[in-house]
Structure 1
């Protein structure tokens, strides 16, 4: 077993420690394994670490629990993925409070070059909301996007089922342990999703769907998405929390407007009124906001590149993109092309002006 990963899971399982404190501890000690080897006299002096947390870090019991988690994962065909591994979702890694580990079951990791759309809303979805969910997913299906939601009643489960109906990958972020399907009525959908998508949780095996787990679940949904679409929402609730988080992570947020006195349109209208969400009425609005093109449109505009007509470093950048499904984040382009970020930004801008590439959410670039 990977000792560093085991140490990271041990820290993750400590009650009320929090992801930011875990990262601070690792930064202080150099690694998760080194944190567990620190003496009590040093641990107690680290800001934010009290007596109880110090005792928990040194506890043999929690270390043994981590070992049991790995055994349970192996038996249940569950992957436990740390933020240090390549399979950890790239978008999620960018947020400041990303979980150090996630549990996944199914087809994982998601393809990073696919648009990822979180579709969320009230548990008390109206027929209007269900119809909007179906329409936006079916219209955007040619993009082959990943549909992300929370497996809850209402808009969430309708989004997952609409994705499956359109043969799309769909991922559910859970507020319970990966082995605790909540609500239980959605078990068959959760199982079907795993053929092309997956279940995701940061909670330990057996964790109940306690109320305080759901705001934490919502940040993962916001962090993994390029775009968060709020279909229907009351004035308060989880959908609005997710939208607020998405804004704080510099993700795009969109909302469908509704009638003034409709309870489950109040949240959407509020987001739009406060300029916290784009007003969308159709899937075409989403394409415009995100600068996305449907497959048939993209095919018409596809260009056969004559690389000989470009400068040497431009050729290097274009070759890098062509070798990686035509789309990559800027930091990966820099690593693969061996061009520093400052110079690379200038090259990308020039290629964008020429209409050769386009910028995408999450500082990614794609050959048009």
Structure 2
């Protein structure tokens, strides 16, 4: 990209109240960011959906001055960037209307032909949440997915550390420019992440570090991937915002269920209860719902998930493996178990990720 083109793109990105979706509309109508910045206000107002409020500050010379300073930072620090119409712009993010017009990155990110999932959740992760997150990523590792998160405390850094441990590419989406790292204590993971993955942000080095930045960056977390997994969440939290955004993008959302009284499970339970997320108990649920390629890797995942079946559950599982989908009464009759007891065992097996219920009171082994 030419120096001049990038200069005008940065200037347009700096215009307050414009927003990425409006900026894209203007660029597509006029052909380039430079044409937008040089166009007369009267001609821009003729474009459908463009009003005075959005164009109020468009022609201020301050934007070109600020863009020049940021351009110098980009060049001096060898920051990578992708324009929303470039081939190297993340493919899934291209389909998001409010995806950034310019995305900055650092590291060795490769998203070509990759399975990509985002993992988010509370900053106050429990030991159960840590265990589930680590096991999920370990079980998915044969499929070599890219793990996206927000590099924050709790679920985010747990997921990214687990990705590093399993030699998976991981991407941290930052709520600030690439001139800093937050939280600073996570600086020790930067080199490992950049060697196999990296960082994305649409914030400038000069942007103030504000709380609302986290909510804005969540659209990138949701937009990069085909699915978002919420590990744990209180009744309110940023991860629920990410889940809402993912749903608005028509992406799959998964939530880990928890006990009703657990404060860090309320958000996940509400997502499931309101049918805004699929219940996930293990890697096989995600593989099945996303229709990822089956093969030796998937069989390896399933094998790991089945190791915790108890002696009463094993004959039920064997029966379903050998006979396919079966109704509760048939399962109980064949396994010589009272129906009420078979129903309880099937529920336990579903929570372990060994079987799944189907319409018509049918069950099948995963």
TM range (shorter): 0.7 to 0.9
What is the rounded CA distance, in whole Å, between the counterparts of 1:209 and 1:65 in structure 2? Answer: 17
- Structure 1 residue runs without a partner (length 5+): 301-368
What is the rounded CA distance, in whole Å, between the counterparts of 2:261 and 2:244 in structure 1? Answer: 23
What residue is the counterpart of 2:197 in the other structure? 197
| Cα offset, 1:152, TM superposition | 0.7
Aligned length: 298
What residue is the counterpart of 2:187 in the other structure? 187
Work out whether residues 143 and 295 of structure 1, in 8 Å CA contact, stay in contact via their aligned partners in 2.
Answer: no
> Is the aligned partner of 1:76 residue 2:55?
no
What is the rounded CA distance, in whole Å, between the counterparts of 1:43 and 1:15 in structure 2? Answer: 16
What residue is the counterpart of 1:236 in the other structure? 236
> Is the aligned partner of 1:245 residue 2:221?
no
Superposition pairs of residues 1-368 of structure 1, within 5 angstroms = 1-43=2-44, 47-50=49-52, 53-54=55-56, 56-108=57-109, 110-293=110-293, 296-297=296-297
**1:78-99 CA-partner distances (Å, limit 9, x unpaired):** 1121112111000000111111
Deviates more, 1:23-32 or 1:177-186: 23-32
SS of the residue aligned with 1:125? Answer: coil
Deviates more, 1:279-288 or 1:162-171: 279-288
TM-score with structure 2 setting the length: 0.77
Deviates more, 1:73-82 or 1:39-48: 39-48
| Cα offset, 1:297, TM superposition | 4.3
- Aligned CA RMSD, in angstroms, stands at 2.0
Deviates more, 1:200-209 or 1:228-237: 200-209
What is the rounded CA distance, in whole Å, between the counterparts of 1:287 and 1:52 in structure 2? Answer: 43
| Cα offset, 1:141, TM superposition | 0.5
SS of the residue aligned with 1:291? Answer: coil
**1:293-318 CA-partner distances (Å, limit 9, x unpaired):** 46624799xxxxxxxxxxxxxxxxxx
| Cα offset, 1:208, TM superposition | 3.5
**1:132-181 CA-partner distances (Å, limit 9, x unpaired):** 11000011011111000001100001111110011110001111112221
- Structure 2 residue runs without a partner (length 5+): 301-366
What is the rounded CA distance, in whole Å, between the counterparts of 1:124 and 1:289 in structure 2? Answer: 28
What residue is the counterpart of 1:307 in the other structure? none
| Cα offset, 1:60, TM superposition | 2.5
| Cα offset, 1:64, TM superposition | 2.4
TM-score with structure 1 setting the length: 0.76
**1:310-349 CA-partner distances (Å, limit 9, x unpaired):** xxxxxxxxxxxxxxxxxxxxxxxxxxxxxxxxxxxxxxxx
